Structure 1
């Protein structure tokens, strides 16, 4: 069985702990980090536009891409250390949600953490990328809270009942 843990800044410890608790012995564990193109692309665009006119400084896009790669490698190393068992570290780049779904193509389990509103239960506890992954994953998904789950009293109220005729 191949188990993938989507490693994201801020929520990765919960994913790694869930893998430790739920992945069967002998499973191939993949720690996955995906870097989106947003920050380096925005920096390059700003530089190439108004900020780049008449300046001799280098384009900041490639430097930010390098820094992001180093940060991803450090995050994967920390996750592997916490996991404490053999694993594969995989770095991908591109549209984050689509890369996670593609990586899960042959997986037996995908582990990810809630990344939205963590103060209350409900659909808003998933951000757009996590919602896409949950909706499109081609394998079973284990969705974990990055910290203790909110109290049941935080469940949104039910919708109003339709009027009776």
Structure 2
């Protein structure tokens, strides 16, 4: 797994077009994944450029670029808060510090395993991965969310319903 290098990320993402994407990501709620089509829409760029962006984010250790198979969409799966990554890339030192603290290795492996299971199930059932729902209890969801965002579980509340 690639170590985070926030400074190098900031240096190499100073280009105006890259900064435009970061501004958009920073203003949006966190997402666990962004499809290449979503990145294109945020950025108003061609598919190749959006893929270059996703591959670059993977190289910096922020997540994984996943090529769509059998109807699954090509996408970027975030291992860290997409909002925090964007803010850190735009020079926010508090966000960079939170990313550096990061989530523990076990959580990152757990996130990957869930994604891998979902993708395999989708492939076997010939479904889009977004159609696969994996059960998780509220306590685990709360704990995982807290770890992902560098919070204590007492700072997280989950509301079910409207």
Normalised-by-shorter TM-score class: under 0.3
> What's the TM-score, normalizing by structure 1?
0.27
Question: RCO higher in 1 or 2 (8 Å CA, sep ≥ 6)?
Answer: 1
Structure with bigger gyration radius: 1
